[in-house]
Amino acid sequence: MQNIVNEGGVSEVVDIEDNEDMGGVSGEEEELELDEVVEARGEGSTFEEAVNANIDLIAEFVQGLRYQVQFRDQQMLNMLEREGTGFLCLARVCMEKEKRSKSTRGGETPTMWEKSTITTMFYRSRSAGMNT
């Protein structure tokens, strides 16, 4: 069983075998994808090499997404939101943490154990005025 978000944005629990029948990723395919990620990172790569490889991948993907905008393809947007749900959620929560951090400088900061900040525990906000 797996929790997924359908095209209408509704979360539902789906049997993984049923998901495969609907064109979902099988356990074997998912394993291959994870192996490809590990291979792309390179075994024994340093922290900086791994993070920079991820940044380069994300930056290249963003350029591709910007190109896709001109086609106004709703199916592409649906796929992006469906397949990238976890990443997009993490990005939003991290940016919200950064926004709160900048607005509360010198004031009271949210507790580290608030439900909304648990997933960003290791994300450090940039200083005010720092955009890169």
Q: In the chain, what are the domain boundaries?
A: 84-132
- pLDDT (0 to 100) of residue 41: 58
pTM for the whole thing? 0.56
Q: How many other C-beta atoms can be found within 10 angstroms of the C-beta atom of residue 14?
A: 15
List the one residue out of 27, 23, 26, 1 whose CA is nearest residue 12. 1
- pLDDT (0 to 100) of residue 130: 65
- pLDDT (0 to 100) of residue 116: 62
- pLDDT (0 to 100) of residue 75: 97
Q: How far is CA 36 from CA 31, 32, 57, 60, in A?
A: 9, 6, 13, 17
Q: Report whether 118 contacts 96 (CB < 8 A).
A: no
pLDDT along the chain (132 residues), means of 10: 56 51 54 58 82 97 97 97 96 89 65 62 73 60
